């Protein structure tokens, strides 16, 4: 199939399916007053991540009481964009312990939430059009309107401004290196797991870029810490240990999972005896299979990283960043909205070769905001945020949480194998020693050394 035919008969039908699913979601919302259960299971908790975090931006107990993992930038950012009078101290007013009451008061926050969402659509389209005009529109639908970004919108999660900073900091959309360093620093301080994206360009010998980006991360952290006066590295590490040691939860933790970590914790959970449902033998099999699958995927990504270091001139920097981001996201559960980050980078790949095509098609599938029901949960009475109604909700156990982590790992493996193949092909053609030489960044730090190189173009630049 030619490239133009593949766009017409593969990518556009997949993008159209996403739009149809979005239309179904909107109709479902208006008919039932709550979103279908591809989204969060509590219908009265829309935009919770924004307003709850904003509440703790005004409360000194964000790290010792709420035990958050957010660096200080998140709180400084929300404190600057929200109306403080809508977030009374604990014990003052109804629902003051969280951000529920603020949603009826802080109308400006809705402007920011929707504003970042639409800005991200525009930035995604501008980026993908810059790379390939013919695929820009369907791929924008996949990335900016797919389930991960809709999930981030529904939660009001800070992935929205983080995604803006990620596009501007780690893609070719901006030309100014200084601005890209600034936005890279902001992105990492919004979402710490993006630190791998700052380090990944080192694999392609972009010393100066990574060093300046790391310096930006540190300066943004110091500045935001100075504004808030809390959120030391020791506090963050202590809260991280507390979260890591939490026992297994309930099947509700699987709702928007992108890894098998919630399922794995559930296997050994005393709260929810899953062995009584699927049998102890199946629990034992999953207890071995899940870590084996994760370990194999991690090993393949690390092998691809070693290959990039060996032949950086044949691998684009955005691929190195993709693998670094995916390694972080498959290693620890961070939420369904995080998939939009690596999907953006995958959509920068050309429609060429089996591995790239598999990764692109899987991203379209992951972007579908619909799911397949496999079991029904007992109906419950719930209040809804939309139209402030009370209704009987029939929830369903969906297929997505069980296959989504596997599809994400398959995306990572596909791109890792593409990288290994490209490097191996170059070695066969050039030999182990006769490698093509390319321009390397000059490092800022005096203890970082590198061999001299001519000022030829570096095709590995993002």
pLDDT in tens, 235-246: 988 888 787 666
Q: What is the mean pLDDT of the chain?
A: 86
Q: Are 461 and 206 in contact (CB under 8 A)?
A: yes
Residues 6+ apart with CB under 8 A from 407: 362, 365, 366
What integer is the mean pLDDT of 298-321?
A: 94
More reliable by pLDDT, 257 or 320:
320
277 located within any domain: yes
Q: Are 142 and 14 in contact (CB under 8 A)?
A: yes
Q: State the pairing for strand pair 380-383/390-393.
A: antiparallel
Sign of the torsion formed by the C-alpha atoms of 241, 247, 252 and 257: positive
* DSSP-derived 3-state class of residue 194: helix
440 located within any domain: no
444 located within any domain: no
Pull the structure tokens for residue 279: 């049998």
Residue 66: name the closest of 243, 247, 256 by CA.
243
The residue to which tokens 């490097």 are assigned: 423
The pLDDT-based confidence of 249 (bands split at 50, 70, 90) is low
Q: Are 338 and 196 in contact (CB under 8 A)?
A: no
Distance, in Å, from the CA atom of 206 to the CA atom of 199, rounded to the nearest integer, reads: 9
The domain total for the chain is: 1
Comparing 38-47, 175-184, 229-238, the range with the smallest average pLDDT is: 38-47
Pull the structure tokens for residue 173: 């959309």
DSSP string for 354-406: HHHHHHHHHHHHHT-----EEEEPPPEEEE-SGGG-EEEE--EEESHHHHHHH
Q: Crossing angle, helix 72-81 and helix 48-57, to 10 degrees?
A: 100
453 located within any domain: no
94 located within any domain: no
Range of the domain at 369: 3-86+103-430
What integer is the mean pLDDT of 124-135?
A: 95
Q: 134 burial class (0-12, 13-18, 19+ CB within 10 angstroms)? A: middle
pLDDT at 114: 97
Residue 39: name the closest of 168, 152, 203 by CA.
152
160 located within any domain: yes
CA angle 321, 460, 325 (to 5 degrees): 5
Strand partners, 392: 381
pLDDT at 453: 37
The pLDDT-based confidence of 390 (bands split at 50, 70, 90) is confident
């Amino acid at each position: 199939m030619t490239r133009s035919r593949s766009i017409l008969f593969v990518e556009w039908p997949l993008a159209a399916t996403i739009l149809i699913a979005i239309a179904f979601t909107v109709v479902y919302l208006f008919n039932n007053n709550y979103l279908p259960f591809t989204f969060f299971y509590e219908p009265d908790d829309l935009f919770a991540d924004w307003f709850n975090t904003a509440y703790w931006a005004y409360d000194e107990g964000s790290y010792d009481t709420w035990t958050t993992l957010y660096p200080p930038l998140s709180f400084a950012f929300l404190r600057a964009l929200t109306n403080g009078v809508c977030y009374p101290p604990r014990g003052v007013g109804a629902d003051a312990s969280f951000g529920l009451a603020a949603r009826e008061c802080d109308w400006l926050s809705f402007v920011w939430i929707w504003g970042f969402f639409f800005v991200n659509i525009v930035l995604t389209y501008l980026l993908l059009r810059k790379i390939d005009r013919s695929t820009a529109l369907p791929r924008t639908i996949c990335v900016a309107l797919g389930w991960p970004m809709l999930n981030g919108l529904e939660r009001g999660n800070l992935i929205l401004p983080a995604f803006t900073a990620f596009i501007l900091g780690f893609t070719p959309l901006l030309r100014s290196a200084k601005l890209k360093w600034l936005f890279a620093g902001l992105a990492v301080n919004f979402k710490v797991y993006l630190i791998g994206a700052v380090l990944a360009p080192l694999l392609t010998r972009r010393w100066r870029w990574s060093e300046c980006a790391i310096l930006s991360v540190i300066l943004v952290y110091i500045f935001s810490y100075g504004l808030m006066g809390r959120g030391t590295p020791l506090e963050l590490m202590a809260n991280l240990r507390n979260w890591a040691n939490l026992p297994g939860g309930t099947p509700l933790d699987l709702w928007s999972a992108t890894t098998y970590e919630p399922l794995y914790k559930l296997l050994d959970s005393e709260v929810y005896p899953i062995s009584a449902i699927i049998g102890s033998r199946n629990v034992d099999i999953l207890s071995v299979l899940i870590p084996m699958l994760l370990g194999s995927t991690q090993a393949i990504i690390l092998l691809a990283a070693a290959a990039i270091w060996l032949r950086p001139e044949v691998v684009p920097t955005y691929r190195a960043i993709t693998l670094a981001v995916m390694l972080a996201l498959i290693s620890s559960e961070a939420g369904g909205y995080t998939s939009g980050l690596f999907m953006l980078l995958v959509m920068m790949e050309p429609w060429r070769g089996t591995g790239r095509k598999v990764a692109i098609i899987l991203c379209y599938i992951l972007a579908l905001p619909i799911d397949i029901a496999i079991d029904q949960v007992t109906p419950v009475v719930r209040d809804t945020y939309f139209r402030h109604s009370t209704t009987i909700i029939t929830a369903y156990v969906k297929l997505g949480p069980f296959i989504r982590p596997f599809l994400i790992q398959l995306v990572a493996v596909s791109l890792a194998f593409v990288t290994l193949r490209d490097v191996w092909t170059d070695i066969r053609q050039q030999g182990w020693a006769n490698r093509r030489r390319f321009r390397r960044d000059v490092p800022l730090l005096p203890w970082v050394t590198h061999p001299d190189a001519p000022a030829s173009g570096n095709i590995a630049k993002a």
